[in-house]
Structure 1
Amino acid sequence: MFQKILIANRGEIALRIICACKELGVRTVAVYSEADRDALHVRFADEAVCIGPPRSADSYLNVASIISAAEITDADAIHPGYGFLSENANFAEVCETCKITFIGPRPDVMQLMGDKNKARETMASLGLPVLPGSGVVESEAEAVQAARKIGYPVMVKAAAGGGGRGMRAVESAAELSQALEAARNEAKAAFGSPEVYLEKLIPSPRHIEFQVLADQHGKVVHLGERECTIQRRHQKLVEESPSTQIDAPLRQRMGHLVVDAMQKVGYTNAGTVEFLMDED
């Protein structure tokens, strides 16, 4: 059991982790930017360390500052929450080098799965259904060509993160340039990387997720599916389980595919495999 955990996040997710740690008798360290000095997670944690100015790039995405905070407070582990550095393989690797436990998947698995473009390629090779899409687009000309091949409408998506950030829907070629620039800028600010790729946009899809838990001995289980279709700005508002649109045979088939894929990539810890379900 860890004695002290640093939470490399803020807001509700940091509060939820603090509450869980208190139930387990584990001390917590909050980190905060100058703008979040009076935030609830700072007040509720056992200790708190300022890690930089208000901009996320200079605070919550600043690996050196977070590692320094962990070392100064003698934290055993770092919990990244979600967003920010939670899918950053370099951060997990730095934690490992500094003998601080990263609460999440191994760096090599994160390198594979944290990059949405690589994750798409890997999941497709393991038999999971994947929407038509592109690799990382390096230029507007490349994006135009990829969108033409996929067929409009398309979605521009950040390769290095999720949580609804760095995403723009594009209905026609005339909208692509502006959407590409906006998605890149948002991805850079949120995840520290401007890389984006294109994916076929499914109008009014159902969002179905399978929650998985995996230990370090190769055992993987899924906890069934959740319906997460009710969203605002690509962020889930309501989760319902089980989904009313998934019957028992489909649930069994998709669950088996998910567990098999996670075993083959060597995934550990908690994770979510997300699917879009069209009207057909």
Structure 2
Amino acid sequence: MFKKVMIANRGEIAIRVIRACKELAIKTAVVFSEADAESLHVRYADECYFIGAAEPSQSYLNIEKIIEAAKKSGCEAVHPGYGFLSQIPAFAEACTRSSIEFIGPPAEVLKRMGNKVEARKAASEAGVPVIPGGLKPASRIEDAIETAEEVGFPVLVKAVYGGGGKGMRLVKNEDEMRHVLETAMLEAESSFGKREIYVEKFLPRARHIEFQILADKKGKVIHLGERECSIQRRYQKLIEETPSPFMDEELREKMGESAKKIAKAVGYVNAGTVEFLV
């Protein structure tokens, strides 16, 4: 059990982690920017460390400053919360180099699963069905059209990195592909720093089902059931419902086992989510 954990986040996210630590009698340290000097998480934690200006790139996204604060605090582990650095492999690697436990998946897993094409490959290799589409980025318009013709229009053009609908476009024919591909690439680059995209079959009126998984370092993986996330606007979830009114026990069992297969195949550790379209 850790004696002290640093939370590399702010606001409600940090408060939730602090509360969990207090229940386990673990001391907490937090970081804060100029904008958050009076925030509740700063007052609620046992220790707090200033890390810079309000701009996230100068504070909550600054790996060097957070590692420096963690070393000063003497913490044994860093909890990234979600968002900010939680899915950045370089942050997990920096923690490891500094002999600080990163509470999250290993850096190599973050690298692979943060890349949607690699994540699709991992699922396919684990024997889990994937939506028809490319298993490599479409670097040229000809590549995108070729994949779209193989799986059949309409298709989705999606950013290889990131999410939230950024860099995603519905394409109904070859002419549309020629018009929207470069725009999707530019949006992906401005949002995630990389312009790679790939193509997959568009499934109209599909159900969006997510399974929460937990995995330890000894290879044990469990799932905590599903969430129905089908009600969305512009690819952003509006309502999450559990259990899903769509699922029956047979499908729930099959999808839950598939989620665990993927986690085991990539060596996943900690909490994660596997998303399905049905």
Tell me which interval the TM-score lies in, with the shorter structure as reference length.
0.7 to 0.9
Residue 167 of structure 1, CA deviation: 4.1
CA distance in 1 between partners of 2:223 and 2:89 (Å): 24
The answer for the alignment partner of 1:51 in structure 2 is: 51
- Asked if 1:146 is matched to 2:144, the reply is yes
Taking structure 1 as reference, are residues 43 and 21 closer, same or farther at Cα in structure 2, changes over 3 Å only? Answer: same
Q: Partners of 2:274 and 2:19 in 1: how far apart?
A: 26
Quote the residue 1:202 is aligned against.
203
- TM-score between the two structures when normalised by the length of structure 1: 0.84
TM-superposed CA distance for 1:76, in Å, is 1.3
Partner of 2:257: 256
The CA deviation at 1:34 is: 2.6
Alpha-carbon separation, structure 2, partners of 1:100 and 1:186 = 30
Supply the RMSD in Å over aligned alpha carbons.
Answer: 2.4
Contact 1:34 1:53 in 2 (8 A): yes
Gap change, CA 1:52 and 1:196, over 3 Å in 2: farther
The percent identity for this pair of structures is 46
SS in 1 for 2:230: coil
Q: 2:159 aligns with which of 157, 160, 178?
A: 157
Q: Distance in 2 between matches of 1:199 and 1:152?
A: 10
1:183-198 aligned at under 5 Å gives the runs: 183-188=188-193, 194-198=194-198
Helix, strand or coil at the partner of 1:270? strand
Structure 1 match to 2:100: 100
Distance 1:12 1:234 in 2: 24
Conserved? CA contact 2:79–2:102, under 8 Å: yes
Q: Is the 8 A contact 1:136 1:195 kept in 2?
A: no
Q: C-alpha displacement at 1:75, in angstroms?
A: 1.5
**Other-structure match for 2:120:** 120
Distance in structure 2 (CA, Å) of the matches to 1:8 and 1:195: 28
In structure 2, C-alpha distance between the alignment counterparts of 1:37 and 1:133, rounded to whole Å: 47
Aligned CA distance change for structure 1 residues 168 and 57 (closer, same or farther; 3 Å): farther
Structure 1 contact 144–176 (Cα < 8 Å) conserved: no
SS state of the match for residue 104, structure 1? coil
Ranges in structure 2 where 5+ consecutive residues have no aligned partner: none
Quote the Cα distance in structure 2 between the aligned partners of 1:143 and 1:124: 25
Identify which range, 257-266 or 76-85, moves more after superposition.
257-266
Q: Report the Cα distance in structure 2 between the residues aligned to 1:78 and 1:263, rounded to whole angstroms.
A: 24
Structure 2 counterpart of 1:72 = 72
Distance 1:165 1:98 in 2: 35
Aligned pair count reads 267
Q: CA deviation at 1:102?
A: 0.5
Q: Which moved more, 1:222-231 or 1:166-175?
A: 166-175
Residues of 1 paired with 2:132 and 2:35: CA distance? Answer: 41
Show the counterpart of 1:23. Answer: 23
Shift of 1:153: 3.8
- One-letter amino acid of the structure 2 residue matched with residue 157 of structure 1: A
Encode CA deviations 1:59-81: one digit per residue, 9 max, x unaligned.
22221111011011112110111
Assess, with a 3 A threshold, how the Cα gap between structure 1 residues 120 and 165 changes in structure 2: closer, same or farther.
same
What's the CA shift string for 1:211-250, capped at 9, x where partnerless?
1111222111112211122234544333222212122222
Q: Check whether the contact 1:227–1:243 (CA below 8 A) recurs between aligned residues.
A: yes
**What letter is aligned with 1:110?**
L
Residues 157 and 184 of structure 2 are in contact (CA less than 8 Å); yes or no, is this contact kept in structure 1? no
Q: Judge which range, 217-226 or 70-79, deviates more.
A: 217-226
For the Cα contact (< 8 Å) 2:186–2:195, is it kept in 1? no
8 Å CA contact retained: 2:128, 2:258: yes
Instruction: Using the TM superposition, give the Cα deviation of residue 144 of structure 1 relative to its aligned residue in structure 2, in angstroms.
Output: 6.1
**Counterpart residue number, 2:87:** 87
* Cα distance in 2 for residues equivalent to 1:52 and 1:133: 43
Q: Deviations over 1:82-128 (max 9, x none)?
A: 22221222221221111101101222322322333211111111111
User: Residue 181 of structure 1 aligns to a residue in which SS?
Assistant: helix
Aligned residue in 2 for 1:191: none
Query: Given the superposition, is the C-alpha separation of residues 252 and 77 from structure 1 closer, same or farther in structure 2, using an over 3 Å criterion?
Result: same
